[in-house]
Amino acid sequence: MQSSNSHKSLNLKELLSHPAVVWILRIVIGAVFILSGFVKGIDPWGSVIKISEYFTVWGLDIPRSLIACAAFALGAYEFVWGFLLLLGCYRRVSVWALSAMMAFML
């Protein structure tokens, strides 16, 4: 006879709250944001061009200097918060900060 405890199945909530899964997801998502911020840091003028193209399509006339500041800030924001998430510092705040950025960008 098999006991009912021997065949426990994990549901999705239990699986995603498992410490190893949380750790792996934290590292992967943090690395994605670090890479994205790093790429924006390597080529900030490419980001300036893309952001100004978005504003042109929307019919907004934003000064180029303001767009440049926003491009540098965006790359730094992604890199710093991704690094904090990767390290596990400010876990809740970093998740909310990156989620808010993604919600705004989407």
For the segment 83-101, what is each residue's pLDDT rounded down to a tens digit?
Answer: 999 999 998 999 999 999 9
Torsions phi, psi for 18 (to 5 deg): -65, 135
Give the chain's mean pLDDT: 88
Torsions phi, psi for 3 (to 5 deg): -80, 155
Asked if the model's pLDDT at residue 6 lies above 60, the reply is no
84 sits in which H/E element: helix 64-87
- pLDDT for the residue numbered 30: 95
For the segment 61-81, what is each residue's pLDDT rounded down to a tens digit?
Answer: 999 999 999 999 999 999 999
Residues 6+ apart with CB under 8 A from 94: 81, 84, 85
For the segment 38-64, what is each residue's pLDDT rounded down to a tens digit?
Answer: 999 999 899 999 999 999 999 999 999
